[in-house]
Amino acid sequence: MYKITFFNQGQVYELFCGKVHGSELAYGFIEISELIFDDGDSVVIDPTEERMREEFADVEVMHLPAHAVVRIEKVRKRGNCVIRDSKSGEKVTPLPVGAPRKRS
């Protein structure tokens, strides 16, 4: 299981998925699939998790631009999905990614 942290429209998302690899769609994209959300068995419902579940309800595979991805972590157990406003004190800045250099 992987924890993915990425920028999306001025916010920082953290979500969990089963598979991560380089996208075959185009160079510079990361492909994530098998999104993992809470099964909803608990009495308390996390509104952020519910919002993400609705936002990504019909998504089978996501292709994220590599420059939007902050971190990819392989984790043993799932934590909480999070959406943070990147302007409220978060000091993470995406850096541009250049094209691969040709070897001489």
Residue type, 13: Y
Q: CA–CA distance from 25 to each of 28, 73, 85 (Å)?
A: 9, 22, 29
| Global confidence as pTM | 0.74
Contact 37, 30 (CB under 8 A): no
| Whether the predicted pLDDT of 42 surpasses 80 | no
pLDDT in tens, 53-90: 888 889 999 999 999 999 999 999 988 888 888 776 45
CA dihedral in degrees (42, 46, 63, 3; nearest 10)?
-70
Contact 72, 38 (CB under 8 A): no
